[in-house]
Amino acid sequence: MNASAAISELVIANRIIAHLRLVDSFGHVTVRNPENPARFFMSRARAPGLVTKEDILEFNLDSTPIDLRGLRPYSERFIHGCLYKSRPDVMAICHNHAHELLPLAVTKTVMRPALHSAAVIGHEVPVWDIRDRFGDTNMLVTTNEMGDSLASTVGKGKAALMRGHGSVIVGKTVQDAVFTTFYLRLNAEVLIKAKSMGETITYLSPGEIDRSGELHTQPDAQGRAWEDWCSQAGVAKPSRK
Amino acid sequence: MNASAAISELVIANRIIAHLRLVDSFGHVTVRNPENPARFFMSRARAPGLVTKEDILEFNLDSTPIDLRGLRPYSERFIHGCLYKSRPDVMAICHNHAHELLPLAVTKTVMRPALHSAAVIGHEVPVWDIRDRFGDTNMLVTTNEMGDSLASTVGKGKAALMRGHGSVIVGKTVQDAVFTTFYLRLNAEVLIKAKSMGETITYLSPGEIDRSGELHTQPDAQGRAWEDWCSQAGVAKPSRK
Amino acid sequence: MNASAAISELVIANRIIAHLRLVDSFGHVTVRNPENPARFFMSRARAPGLVTKEDILEFNLDSTPIDLRGLRPYSERFIHGCLYKSRPDVMAICHNHAHELLPLAVTKTVMRPALHSAAVIGHEVPVWDIRDRFGDTNMLVTTNEMGDSLASTVGKGKAALMRGHGSVIVGKTVQDAVFTTFYLRLNAEVLIKAKSMGETITYLSPGEIDRSGELHTQPDAQGRAWEDWCSQAGVAKPSRK
Amino acid sequence: MNASAAISELVIANRIIAHLRLVDSFGHVTVRNPENPARFFMSRARAPGLVTKEDILEFNLDSTPIDLRGLRPYSERFIHGCLYKSRPDVMAICHNHAHELLPLAVTKTVMRPALHSAAVIGHEVPVWDIRDRFGDTNMLVTTNEMGDSLASTVGKGKAALMRGHGSVIVGKTVQDAVFTTFYLRLNAEVLIKAKSMGETITYLSPGEIDRSGELHTQPDAQGRAWEDWCSQAGVAKPSRK
């Protein structure tokens, strides 16, 4: 995949995450430049549902823009730059405030997968609390120091909840990042309802997480969802591989 | 902004709050006349989703109409008049019965923000109970005495819950009032689910509320949502500033 | 209003209750014949969202059809006939399984209004359990004896929950029956969430129920919702009065 | 009904379960070949909302394909083959991860019907845990041994929950399988909310389950829903019988 194809897929991903309500007017998805791993693509500051090719900007891994073309960047681009820097295996990232997962993001409870399709979130999703290290802030990740702290909480994992704010998810591809975001939210919804009943929850075992997680990161599984979401969101499906 | 532009924006706001289901067939949003701060604009009594320019009426701050043109006003216009009177800084107001926040409006629990985007609701959202001062009523705010009582509960704040009824939100602009209404509802939804799980909720700290609240009342943040909502509701976005 | 206008309104009501998801593929709304109070109109057995004028049949108050025209009637028409018989003041009835109220219909808890707009449901909504008098049945109200029993539980009230089944609502007009159904469901949703939080609920006082109930059964209030719902459901609003 | 009509109905069923969100991008519905009970029809591996006639493949009851035509089959086809093998009375099967029922699928609680229309799920819906017999897996039913184990848990019943995964439902017809899936989900939703309130639930009695279950498996009841769902999903209703 070249840079141009990556940008096209990024635009589609923006439409999909808006259509699936994984984001509201805020949140963002990015992709590493496949032609230059020291850079990544991200829309200008705009609601994801409205993003077009003309909105895409390029950034260095310290989140400085290559050429703003007079547009305004997202102030939280540091989330992305710092994660691309710390995780060479990561090719795409989604930051969101999906409404249904927020009830878990206002607690300090580590999330674990209880659904086979949610095995893609990994063994544990930690909660990053910006206040722990940075005290009272406006809650946004607006410096490399903050981004590095968040990246350190994500560690080698797939995601982190951000206390009082939302979540961040990393992926091997744009499709992987969106897929993981979708099933992270579903896992949250299911846990919230199950906990409300007060019944004992059976989580996936470590072995199940590994095996089901591997299965659900295959292009076969993720491509099936992607084709469906492209159709639902009314966007053309890019030819895969 | 002149009176005519304010009316145009008010019509758009009506469509948006209906589209976002912040109101059902009841509820209303108003704007202070930018050319005459002693008056405000409000639709005739009609479901917000159906409001057009022709439905807009003008009122004095004691909620008497300037010219009804044979139309019927909302009986709860006193909510608006009294708040514009007590709060010269307020330029727009939204009164609603958003379904998702009502579970908190049937308790006496003061709401506090647990989400960064909900910092716009301020440090605390008090509950106004019409019964405390007026005894058994039909629950509507239909006199200046009732409106003044509600305004006094809102005080210098951003919003109040109305027991067994809904909520009222004030804003520096129409966009601010709608934005705050949206995230007040989201905060309520999230708290209701988090409380149902029985887990400990981490609320924003006072410093976080101040800083994140200031951030989220900037035209940059609110304009991003407004552009998105205009698109979703199928209405033309007015040129901003 | 003559019989023909009543039938037109009944068709619209079917579309509206389907659009608002007050019914799924089952449930029904009826109207008493304004030209002959000893008869009522009801669709043939069909999903409400599909009902047209050609589907409307007429029944006596013992729920025998006047002329089936080869069509199959709903087996639960006895709910309607028995209530029209016992309640000369009732002009329209809605029987539904609105999904959101069902969690209360599987308990024995009497419902009380906690919202001002739900005052239209009256002071208490009792639960009718078909098993109490008829033992093990298929749960449907398929005889006049069963219908009389249900009518006796409704008494002089506005509605009853039907254990394991749904609810029935009576109205002074078709609009009143649909309006009351809508706010009965909302009241149920709100109570279910409020109870899940474990917080103390403040219900309307008896005086508030009377005053707010009277207000919300006025054509002004109900007509505002009806105009909105006609627009949402894409049906022509009949000229009122 | 011949094989061609069965395939047409299967395509419609795929559209309906996608429209009703009984499935997301995963899950599948199948039908036994009415001309050869030792075979069944199933789509190639694809999101149900996108399935067309050209996607339908035929399988033996050991889930080997008759002719793949270069297409990729669902890896979980063994769920279907094994159930058709063990249950000659079953003509259609739906496997799904309906989001709303998943909170019950992460507990070990047997589900019982509390709603009259949910009597079609039978007296009890057991929970099958793949881990009990197969240890750590990727959670998919990908062998005949696993399929037989699941079929044995279903026994002579109508459905089983699959721990951490979803559910499987068998039917006498395609319409029966979809209808039962719809009301299994609704029953789950209602129980989850009722349990969250902490109130005592009144379940259907065994006699009510038998009688209401028989009623709701009649073509009259199921056909009313089917006509409605075809209309909602925008697909032509096939002539019945």
Q: Minimal Cα–Cα distance from C221 to chain D, Å?
A: 31
Per-residue pLDDT of C31-47, as tens digits, reads 999 999 999 999 999 99
Nearest chain D residue to A214, by CA: D138
Long-range pairs of C51-59 with CB within 8 A, sequence gap ≥ 24: C51/C11, C51/C14, C51/C15, C52/C11, C53/C7, C53/C8, C53/C11, C56/C7, C56/C10, C56/C11, C58/C33
Average pLDDT over residues B144-172: 98
Angstrom distances, CA of residue A157 to CA of A178, B1, C64: 15, 50, 68
Which residues are within 8 A (CB) of B133 and not within 5 positions of it... i.e. 6 or more apart?
B149
Per-residue pLDDT of B194-211, as tens digits, reads 999 999 999 999 999 999
Give the separation between CA C113 and CA C101, rounded to whole angstroms: 13
Q: Given pLDDT bands bounded at 50, 70 and 90, which one contains residue D238?
A: low
Yes or no, beta carbons of B116 and A106 under 8 Å apart: no
Nearest chain B residue to C207, by CA: B136
Give the separation between CA D241 and CA D227, rounded to whole angstroms: 13
Instruction: Check pLDDT > 60 for residue D36.
Output: yes
- Regarding beta strands D92-96 and D166-171, do their DSSP bridges make them parallel or antiparallel, or are they unpaired? antiparallel
Nearest chain D residue to C45, by CA: D224
Which residues are within 8 A (CB) of B65 and not within 5 positions of it... i.e. 6 or more apart?
B57, B58, B59, B73
Yes or no, beta carbons of D211 and C136 under 8 Å apart: yes
Q: What ranges make up the beta strands (E) of chain C?
A: 28-32, 39-43, 56-60, 92-96, 127-128, 159-162, 166-171
What size, in residues, is chain B? 241
Taking Cα atoms as reference points, which of A165, A16, A179 lies closest to residue A104?
A165
Q: Given pLDDT bands bounded at 50, 70 and 90, which one contains residue A1?
A: confident
What is the count of residue pairs from B and C with beta carbons less than 8 Å apart?
107
DSSP B72-106: PBPTTHHHHHHHHHH-TT--EEEEE--GGGHHHHT
Q: Is B70 left (phi over 0), alpha (psi -120 to 50) or beta?
A: left
Give the separation between CA D144 and CA D159, rounded to whole angstroms: 18
Q: Is A229 on the interface with D (CB under 8 A)?
A: yes
Q: Alpha-carbon torsion C99, C104, C106, C110, what sign?
A: negative
Strand-pairing partners, residue C29, are C94
Q: What is the pTM of this model?
A: 0.97
Give the separation between CA B205 and CA B213, rounded to whole angstroms: 11
Q: Minimal Cα–Cα distance from B134 to chain A, Å?
A: 36
Q: Minimal Cα–Cα distance from D20 to chain A, Å?
A: 14
Mutate to test the interface with D, among A185, A189, A195, A199 (most CBs of D within 10 A): A199
Yes or no, beta carbons of C25 and D214 under 8 Å apart: no
Residue type, A147: G
| Mean of pLDDT over chain B | 96
Q: What is the percent of chain B where pLDDT is above 90?
A: 96
Residues of D in contact with A114 (CB under 8 A): 106, 164
Q: What pLDDT score was predicted for residue C217?
A: 95
Q: Alpha-carbon torsion A224, A230, A231, A233, what sign?
A: positive
Interface of B with A in 199-218 (CB under 8 A): 199-208, 210-212, 214-215
- In this structure, what DSSP letter does residue D127 have? E
Yes or no, beta carbons of A131 and B190 under 8 Å apart: no
Strand-pairing partners, residue A161, are A127, A167
Residue type, B227: E
Q: What pLDDT score was predicted for residue A240?
A: 43
Q: What pLDDT score was predicted for residue D1?
A: 86
User: By the 8 A CB rule, do B63 and B78 touch?
Assistant: yes
Nearest chain C residue to B192, by CA: C197
Taking Cα atoms as reference points, which of C28, C33, C66 lies closest to residue C47?
C28
Average pLDDT over residues A109-121: 97
Give the separation between CA B216 and CA B201, rounded to whole angstroms: 22
User: By the 8 A CB rule, do A190 and D99 touch?
Assistant: yes
Residues of B in contact with A110 (CB under 8 A): none
- And the tokens for A133? 């290290």
Q: Alpha-carbon torsion B58, B64, B66, B70, what sign?
A: positive
Residues of C in contact with D204 (CB under 8 A): 139, 164
Instruction: Check pLDDT > 70 for residue D239.
Output: no
Instruction: Check pLDDT > 50 for residue D241.
Output: no
Q: Is A13 exposed, middle or buried (0-12, 13-18, 19+ CB in 10 A)?
A: buried
Q: Alpha-carbon torsion C34, C40, C45, C48, what sign?
A: positive
- In this structure, what DSSP letter does residue B29 have? E
Nearest chain B residue to C223, by CA: B46
Q: Is D20 on the interface with C (CB under 8 A)?
A: no
Per-residue pLDDT of D142-193, as tens digits, reads 999 999 999 999 999 999 999 999 999 999 999 999 999 999 999 999 999 9
Q: Is A139 on the interface with B (CB under 8 A)?
A: yes
Give kind and range of the element (H or E) at residue D78: helix D77-86
Lowest mean pLDDT among A151-160, A217-226, B230-239: B230-239
**Active-site residue B76, yes or no?**
yes
- And the tokens for A7? 């940008």
- And the tokens for D21? 């969100």
Q: Minimal Cα–Cα distance from C194 to chain B, Å?
A: 5
Instruction: Check pLDDT > 50 for residue B241.
Output: no
Interface of C with D in 67-106 (CB under 8 A): 72, 97, 99, 102-104, 106
Q: What pLDDT score was predicted for residue A241?
A: 37
Q: Of C189, C205, C224, which is closest to B99 when you measure between CB atoms?
A: C189
Taking Cα atoms as reference points, which of D212, D211, D1 lies closest to residue D92?
D1
Angle at C160 between CA C155 and CA C164, to 5 degrees: 140
Strands ordered across the beta sheet of D56-60: D56-60, D39-43, D28-32, D92-96, D166-171, D159-162, D127-128
Yes or no, beta carbons of C194 and B103 under 8 Å apart: yes
Q: What pLDDT score was predicted for residue D236?
A: 75
Instruction: Check pLDDT > 60 for residue B238.
Output: no
Q: Minimal Cα–Cα distance from D6 to chain C, Å?
A: 23
Residues of D in contact with A208 (CB under 8 A): 131, 136-139, 164
DSSP C69-126: TTPPBPTTHHHHHHHHHH-TT--EEEEE--GGGHHHHTS-PPB---SGGGGGG-S-B-
Strand-pairing partners, residue C94, are C29, C169
Q: Minimal Cα–Cα distance from B14 to chain A, Å?
A: 19
Please count the other Cβ atoms lying within 10 Å of the Cβ belonging to residue A4: 11
Give the separation between CA D65 and CA D42, rounded to whole angstroms: 10
Nearest chain C residue to D205, by CA: C136
* Partner chains of B (3+ C-beta pairs under 8 Å): A, C
Give the separation between CA C66 and CA B1, rounded to whole angstroms: 65
Angstrom distances, CA of residue C210 to CA of B12, B218, C117, C189, C207: 36, 45, 12, 22, 5
Taking Cα atoms as reference points, which of A45, A58, A23, A203 lies closest to residue A118?
A203
Which residues are within 8 A (CB) of B47 and not within 5 positions of it... i.e. 6 or more apart?
B18, B23, B24, B25, B26, C224, C225, C227, C228, C231
Q: Given pLDDT bands bounded at 50, 70 and 90, which one contains residue B240?
A: very low
Helices (H) and strands (E) in chain B, counts: 8, 7
Which residues are within 8 A (CB) of D218 and not within 5 positions of it... i.e. 6 or more apart?
none
Q: What pLDDT score was predicted for residue B182?
A: 98
Q: Of A193, A208, A227, which is closest to D192 when you measure between CB atoms?
A: A193
Strand-pairing partners, residue D95, are D28, D168
- The helix-helix angle for C77-86 and C144-154 (nearest 10°) equals 50
Residues of A in contact with D129 (CB under 8 A): 202
Residue bearing tokens 């030819």: A239
Mutate to test the interface with A, among B21, B123, B187, B199 (most CBs of A within 10 A): B199
Taking Cα atoms as reference points, which of D158, D160, D111, D166 lies closest to residue D140?
D166
SS3 A237: coil
User: By the 8 A CB rule, do D8 and D238 touch?
Assistant: yes
Residues of B in contact with A46 (CB under 8 A): 224, 227
Strands ordered across the beta sheet of C28-32: C56-60, C39-43, C28-32, C92-96, C166-171, C159-162, C127-128
Per-residue pLDDT of D211-224, as tens digits, reads 999 999 999 999 99
Yes or no, beta carbons of D103 and A224 under 8 Å apart: no
Q: Minimal Cα–Cα distance from A155 to chain D, Å?
A: 24
Q: Alpha-carbon torsion B230, B234, B235, B237, what sign?
A: positive
Q: What pLDDT score was predicted for residue A218?
A: 94
Which residues are within 8 A (CB) of C122 and not within 5 positions of it... i.e. 6 or more apart?
C113, C157, C158, C159, C209, C213
| Mean of pLDDT over chain A | 96
SS3 D5: helix
Per-residue pLDDT of A25-68, as tens digits, reads 999 999 999 999 999 999 999 999 999 999 999 999 999 999 99
Strand-pairing partners, residue A95, are A28, A168
Per-residue pLDDT of B56-101, as tens digits, reads 999 999 999 999 999 999 999 999 999 999 999 999 999 999 999 9
Instruction: Check pLDDT > 80 for residue A174.
Output: yes
pLDDT in tens, chain C (241 residues): 899 999 999 999 999 999 999 999 999 999 999 999 999 999 999 999 999 999 999 999 999 999 999 999 999 999 999 999 999 999 999 999 999 999 999 999 999 999 999 999 999 999 999 999 999 999 999 999 999 999 999 999 999 999 999 999 999 999 999 999 999 999 999 999 999 999 999 999 999 999 999 999 999 999 999 999 999 999 976 554 3
- And the tokens for A37? 């791993």
Residue type, B143: T
Catalytic residues of A: 76
Q: Is A230 on the interface with D (CB under 8 A)?
A: no
Instruction: Check pLDDT > 80 for residue D237.
Output: no
Instruction: Check pLDDT > 80 for residue B148.
Output: yes
